[in-house]
Amino acid sequence: MEAPRMVAADVPDRGRMFYLVDYQLDFIPEVKQFLDWKAATGHAPATIKAYCARLLRFYRFLATRQLSATQVTLADVTEFVLWLRHPGHDAQNARPHPLQISTINLITQAVGTLYDFLLRHRLISQSPVVLVTIAASAPAAERDLLAHTRRHHLT
């Protein structure tokens, strides 16, 4: 399975929109629906572009594992977080240093928001993502890469 790409499209009444496409340049349907919904609910174009860029990392990971978004499990999400931490994991976007915890949180949050959308629209029956925010300044933050697997309730 080839990795997807992010493309820009000029959409009437919305201006420039960003989407993910597969190797045949077909829209990735669930991401298109999600980003169109974000645009329809008044999110800024820069916000939609940021979601698209973050989801691109997730879909590149899925391509390396030959998974569709509907096949993802909690274990896959955990592997995704570890994959983000490994320098040079992505041949198209190799980098010498791991991503910051705050960046990983933003990417994981975008994936979780996508799955919440899919759940609300009954496109899936259960989300594989459990989100928790890790404080970037916390001393243990660098070691807590599996925090997304635990559900924390704010009181």
Amino acid 155: pLDDT: 41
pLDDT mean over 37-47: 91
Which residue ranges make up each domain of the chain?
5-149
More confident residue, 152 or 10: 10
* Residues 90-122 pLDDT 10s: 555 555 677 888 899 999 999 999 999 999 999
Whether residue 61 contacts residue 124, with contact meaning beta carbons closer than 8 Å, is answered with no
pTM above 0.95, yes or no: no
Amino acid 47: pLDDT: 94
Amino acid 3: pLDDT: 85
**What is the Cα–Cα distance from 38 to 53, expressed in whole angstroms?**
14
Sign of CA dihedral 11, 16, 17, 18: positive
pLDDT mean over 7-24: 86
**5-149 maps to which CATH number?**
1.10.150.130
Which range, of 55-59, 72-76, 122-126, averages the lowest pLDDT?
122-126
Map residue 5 onto helix, strand or coil: strand
